[in-house]
Structure formats: structure tokens, C-alpha cells
Amino acid sequence: MTERALYARPIPADPALGDDQTLPLAGGPVRFAFAQILSRSAPPRVVPARALPDDLLERLTAPRAPICGLTLDRPRIMGVINVTPDSFSDGGRHLAAEAAAEAGRRMLAEGADILDIGGESTRPGAAEIPAEEEAARVLPVITALRGAAPLSIDTRKPEVARAAFAAGAALYNDVSALTFAPDSLAAAAELGGPVCLMHAQGDPQTMQRNPRYDDVLLDVYDWLAARVAACEAAGIARARILVDPGIGFGKTLAHNLALLRGLSLFHGLGCAILLGVSRKSFIGALSGEADPARRAPGSIAAGLAGLAQGVQILRVHDVAQTAQAVAVWRAIRHGENP
């Protein structure tokens, strides 16, 4: 990895500080007055936010463009619908199209703003399935839910994304950050909707085999910065891009915790941030809870830690519990009544 000119991690400020003393983080309710300057070769140091270069300060503070018609001036909840037999948390529960569609309707009633529909498991060790099989799983669900809410297609395959958009999906959520197929970038540009670029080291079959980084926070940042640049070169505007640090995808417990502690760094990419921590194995490692379905409390704790750093979208399985927690968090921290 090469040294960037500047890595600046905004330090969220106490909400009691007045707006004249702080700056908005990505145009949202979280504000900051200082930033931690990170380096691969020197100790961290803290500087006043207004001392940062103008171009970086603009990326850190500018409001993010709406995604699928959803403004990002408040936290948004993405409900997960796995139309698979083998997803790590809920594989098989929503394999039938009507069961998946009913789950989606329930999530919307519970407070989801957007639904993420996937037909191929990307849990550690999962095998790739043919595009035809993946499409056959998700298309009936997308068709059934079309018009009820914005829909995201969770896929690595551009042919599945194209079919999903034709059926009613509006966001292309790719755990490979559009690297899986040679025409992924072209497909995303052609479809014209927002895209979510997630970091992963390796593929699902290999990613948890001794993942290594020089500096996980800076390495993931640089990798995502390169993918954002590749998207822009392909004609995908930065305003259409979400970034996801990929918690649990080619990371150890220590890597995941380092990323969660440093999440606000990723605002420097000038993109909205999506965080997927729901029911993941690091929560089990920290809590001793072996059953993913019983990890809602830990998932909510990690999600709220992300919101405190300005994350705009939480991708979750437990929508009702998360929506309740977010409502209380907003009222306490920001005096907002949803």
C-alpha cells in the first residue's frame, strides 16, 4: 500500500457543543470539531477540523445525496432478505418466494426504509451458485415487493443485477465492489442506479483463512478509494456510491474492532456509508452467543456505535428491535423525535 497524502478521522463531538463550534459530518446530525490524523509511518495526532485542507473538509462535511429517494440526513434501516438455503443466520427461512415477500412486508411495517434481497450466500465457506439459479430465487420476490419500498439486489453477478433492475430493484449491492466479473462496472454504469461497494479480502470460500493487513483501517480505506475511483472512471458518479467496510469479510476479531472504532475515517471518501454488523460472528466471539438469531442486542450495540460516527445506513436482520433502538438513540443524543 502507498502512503496517502492525508488520512483524517473525524472525532464526533459532544452534542452539547454549539453549531458555531462544530461542523456537520456528511451533512448529518453528528458533528465534529477535531480530527485524528493517521499515518502508516508516524503516531496519530489531533488537529482542529477547520485546519484540514478545503477539499478534504468538503468531502467530510457535504450532505450526501439521497439514495433511492431516501434522504440521508437521518439514519436509515435496510432489512435483509436472504432467499437462500444456507445463509449463516437465516438460511432456508425465506427460500420460498411468498415467505420472503411476507418477511419483506413485515420488515417495512417494523420500520425498514429499504430491503436488500439476495439469492446467493456469501457466508464464510459458501460456494458460488449459477447466475440462473440465483436469479430464479430473487426475481419473484422483487416482483412481489415492487413498489412497496426501494429494493436492493445483493449480488456479485452483473447478469443478476440487470434482471433484478428490470424486475424492480433500484440499488446494486455488491460484496465484491464490482470486481467479480469483467463487465460489473459497465453493468452498474448502464443500470444508472446507486451502487454499494463492499470491501472483502478474498472470496467467501477463502476469506477467513488467516486474513492479514498492514494496517486494516488504512488498507480498507485505500482499497475502497481505488474502487470509488474505478467507478468514477466508468461513469458512475460519486453521489451514486455507498461504501461498506465489510465487517466479517476477510477480517479477524481484531480487524473488525479496529474498523468499527475508526468508521468515521470513511467519510473522507465523500460517499454515504452502509454498515452491516447484524448477527455476525464477532458478536458471538465477544458475547459467547453461538446462535446468530440471538445476537440482536450485540448487533444493535455495534450499529449504534456506527451511527455515533455518522453511518447513514444499517443493514440488519432484526428490524423492529433496531428501529426502536435507533428512535431512542436519536431522541437522547440529538433531541430528535422520529
Catalytic site positions = 280, 315
Separation between Cα atoms, residue 73 and residue 70, nearest integer Å: 9
Nearest to 275 by CA among 241, 248, 310, 311: 311
144 three-state secondary structure: helix
Any bridge partners for residue 43, and if so which?
Answer: none
- The single-letter code of the amino acid at 32 is F
How many degrees, rounded to 5, is the angle at CA 147 between CA 143 and CA 153?
Answer: 55
Q: What is the DSSP string of 271-288?
A: SEEEEE-TT-HHHHHHH-
Separation between Cα atoms, residue 238 and residue 95, nearest integer Å: 34
Separation between Cα atoms, residue 213 and residue 171, nearest integer Å: 30
Q: 118 to each of 82, 166, 235, 263, 284, how far by Cα in Å?
A: 5, 16, 25, 25, 23
Q: Report yes or no: 188 and 172 within 8 Å, Cβ to Cβ.
A: yes
Q: 227 to each of 185, 241, 313, 322, how far by Cα in Å?
A: 10, 10, 20, 30
Separation between Cα atoms, residue 99 and residue 337, nearest integer Å: 33
Q: Report yes or no: 324 and 316 within 8 Å, Cβ to Cβ.
A: no
Task: Quickly tell me which residue has 469483467 as its cell.
Answer: 182
For the record, the C-alpha cell of 72 comes out as 440521508
Separation between Cα atoms, residue 57 and residue 41, nearest integer Å: 23
Nearest to 201 by CA among 250, 259, 257: 250
Question: At 24, which helix (H) or strand (E)?
Answer: strand 23-24
